[in-house]
Amino acid sequence: MEHSSNTLLTIVLLWVLTPFVLGDEVVPRQVLKPYCSHTCGNVSIPYPFGIEDGCYYFVDNNYDYKFVCNDTYTPPRLILGRNLEVLKVSLEGELTINNPVCYDCYHNSSQGQLLKTIFWSWVNLATFTISSTKNVLVAIGCDTNVWFTGFRHGRPYYTGCMTQCANLNDVADGACNGIGCCQIALPEGVSNITTNVSSFSNHRFVPFNPCSSAFPVEIETFKFYQRNLSQDLNYYRSNEIKLPVIFNWKVGRNSCSVAKAHRNYMCTENTDCYDSEYEVGYRCKCKDGYSGNPYLSQGCTDVDECKNNDTNDCEKPEYCFNINGGYNCHCPEGYHGNATMTDRCVSNRKAWFTPVLVTAGIGGGIIALLLTVFLLHWQHGKKEIKKMREKLFRENGGMLLHQKLSGQDDDILKFFTIEDLEKATDNYNNVNIIGRGGFGIVYKGTMPNNQVVAIKKSIKVDPKQAEQFVNEVLVLSKINNRNVVKLLGCCLEDEVPLLVYEFISNGTLYEHLHEAVCASILTWSMRLKIALDVADVLSYLHNTISPQIIHRDMKSMNIMLDESYTAKVTDFGASRLVPLDQGQLATMVLGTWGYLDPEYMQTSDLTEKSDVYSFGVVLVELLTRKKAISNDRSETEKCLAMHFLLKMKEGRLLDILDKNIVNDGTIEQIQQVANLAKGCLMLKGDDRPTMKEVSIELETIKSKGSHPWNNNDAQFEEDCQLLLGGNSGSGAGGCSSGIDSDLYNPHSPLGSGR
């Protein structure tokens, strides 16, 4: 009898424990321990999150779902990981944390010395990713840049923005547009995020702004105010400022289909499973007609819609009958109809007498009246829609664009309707997204004539910024070059402006250079042809078009490649038209770190030589396959332009070249292109060649080889000394470097290192 009891106990224990342990993997099932806490302070804690052991999802030693309730505060605070305060957790897959603001402050010591205090912030969560739709990256300051890093699809991800201002009167409350405040959107799927901020000139020229600050933040909770610029170090230290940031969470490491085949599948009865497009894992959701926690056994229970008249449309409460996952409305005996508010129950008894003619007359009159009301309402609605579209057309710069294009060929630009683009993109279906960035989303679309196009849908901007949008359209309308992505038309009737381009199917030069498989296809001759194509475009913009156009954001990300690897230059949003009587323009500095002309950054005077410098960086990318800015490299090598010039100066060019393109047949051409790149990267614009000279030199190198570019080495030595003495490393051009006094030896083939 005792043996029989032990056997029965063993069977019961195995039956209870089997759902929780499978091999070495802990399989979180749906029954929670009776001692599990469901709240901490004012925050609810739904499973798969929990505090006590056995109360949270735990697999592969992942503790990201384990919380700690810190009751030393009043009310207690819910803590995740390394002291991250959790503000809210939702079963819709969102986790809101309180993230500290990072800052970079400058102040004078009692001895008059300039002191610097830096505070960076990071969220070390590999499982969860920052939400791109609910957050935005912000930097505040008058000589400030923010650098945001993380991991996306297993690879490092970088982005940032910069802001400047010389006078408080230039700054407006609520306007985060690059003057005192800048903000950019973030992509999906970025985890392990770090935010740091720095100042260009230690706030020496903006005494009213002693600190730079930066942070990712929930969009709905942030508004910029002019007074933010005057906050000092004491303010940040004493207030311990934190702002809400929303992260996306999911469970598992596989898609729904793969997870369903294993016993550790988390979605329980009456649930649906959803794959995460940009992240690893999946999410569970109760089916329609059910509510509760989809990760718990019997967590999704039927909603009795008949108990609440707001959740059903039955004519009377007694006509409502609840069923699993929904409800039905039934008429009582002796009546017919659907028993709903729109189709009520009608008695089956017939009237003894029906005055047919009277009824028909009344019915006809009612129908005529209804038709009249409908037609009037329809016409009024059409007028309102037309009025709204005209208003949006004006706000998006339509009148300004018509004015600027007046007198030109009518076919130069097509104006599309909202319906045209909605139909082309299947109502902006996410499946058709082919690009996403800080200025908006790019969709693939198919027009009625089967022409495939790329549709750029900008983020919603201040109507005052419509001039920048019109500028891009105006610039592109003046360009007729086979190596420029062709602008087909635009739509200005929507809340945000849309541009329609020809579709380029082979991605960007940046993607081809920095993806190993794609890079192996780019031979030296293909890279040389791409360089020549881009040089021809810039020469065309600088010399052929009147007025002259300066691109201002030349980089490998803005060079598309078609099926035959022909280069197509794109993104003219930052470009400027230069009047005939001006050789340079005083502008707010725009561009991308690592590509910005250092002379332009210092003086704010934009010239065609600024494009030459940026093109020089692209040449170095083609030679080395290295990124223009990389935190993975040492401080002296962080900036690719300075790293390249240092190697050239030391006679060790071979150390930095992409080994895939170096062979006996390419050495001479590579050295000539490297010398040309060195000339483009001269600190002073006057010492650089023009783009027309660069194009001619590349054509000569490509066709039959040429003598190396005739650089002024003495001037190069002077530039290096100016860079070392005048600019300490931040971004483009002005990166610090330990260049020694030996000049690069042009007679030594590529150098072998020493």
State yes or no: pLDDT of 350 exceeds 70: no
pLDDT tens, 656-677? 999 999 988 899 999 999 999 9
585 confidence band (pLDDT: 50, 70, 90): low
Among 126-140, 542-556, 739-753, the minimum mean pLDDT is found in: 739-753
Among 87-96, 406-415, 462-471, 724-733, the minimum mean pLDDT is found in: 724-733
- Gap between the Cα atoms of 516 and 658, Å rounded: 11
- Gap between the Cα atoms of 334 and 332, Å rounded: 6
- Gap between the Cα atoms of 256 and 287, Å rounded: 15
Torsion angle (degrees, nearest 10) of CA 373, 376, 378, 381: -120
The residue ranges of every structural domain in the chain are: 95-248, 305-347, 386-503, 508-754
Winning range, highest mean pLDDT, from 430-434, 633-637, 717-721: 430-434
State yes or no: pLDDT of 518 exceeds 80: yes
Winning range, highest mean pLDDT, from 285-289, 377-381, 517-521: 285-289
The separation between the first and the last C-alpha atoms of the chain, rounded to the nearest angstrom, is: 86
**Contact predicate 56/34, CB 8 Å:** no
Helix axes 466-477, 398-405, angle to 10 degrees: 30
Bridge partners (DSSP) listed for residue 673: none
State yes or no: pLDDT of 732 exceeds 50: no
CA distances, 92 to each of 50, 313, 545, 572 (Å): 16, 27, 54, 39
Compute the C-alpha angle 421/422/424, nearest 5°: 60
Q: What CATH architecture applies to the domain 508-754?
A: Orthogonal Bundle (1.10)
Amino acid present at 702: K
Amino acid present at 56: Y
Give mean pLDDT, residues 181-186.
94
Among 335-339, 550-554, 710-714, the minimum mean pLDDT is found in: 710-714
Reported CATH class of domain 386-503 = alpha beta
CA distances, 529 to each of 533, 640, 715 (Å): 6, 22, 29
Q: What average pLDDT does the structure give for the chain?
A: 81
What percent of the chain has a predicted confidence (pLDDT) above 70?
80
- Gap between the Cα atoms of 442 and 457, Å rounded: 6
pLDDT tens, 202-219? 888 888 999 999 999 999
463 confidence band (pLDDT: 50, 70, 90): low
Winning range, highest mean pLDDT, from 277-281, 331-335, 531-535, 553-557: 531-535
Residue 9: the pLDDT is 38
Q: CB atoms < 10 A from the CB of 662, how many?
A: 16
460 confidence band (pLDDT: 50, 70, 90): low
Question: Long-range contact list for 579-582, CB < 8 A, 24+ apart?
Answer: 579/547, 580/546, 580/547
3-state SS assignment for residue 616: helix
Q: What is the 3-state composition of the chain as percent helix, strand, coil, each rounded to the nearest 5? A: 35, 25, 40
Active-site positions read: 553
- What pTM does this model have? 0.46
State yes or no: pLDDT of 356 exceeds 60: no
DSSP letter, residue 18: T
Residue 60: the pLDDT is 75
